[in-house]
Amino acid sequence: MHQANSPLRRIVVVGGGAAGWLTASIIAVTHKHDDNIVSP
């Protein structure tokens, strides 16, 4: 079960093109963790 106080560990951006990459980059910069952006 998901706990509200647990930190985010993984975010999946579904969708491609400029909007998907822009969203992924904004999330990466905002959260500043060890980011792993994977493109299919």
pLDDT tens across 8-31, in order? Answer: 677 788 877 898 888 888 887 887
CA distance 11 to 33: 12
Q: Tally the residues of the chain.
A: 40
Q: What is the pLDDT of residue 2?
A: 57
Give the per-residue pLDDT at 30: 82
pLDDT at 26: 86
Q: What is the rounded CA–CA span in Å between residue 32 and residue 14?
A: 20
- Whether the predicted pLDDT of 1 surpasses 60: no
Burial state string for 5-29 with b = 16 or more CB within 10 A and e = fewer than 16 = eeeeeeeebeeeeeeeeeebeeeee
> Rg (Cα) of the chain, in Å, rounded?
12
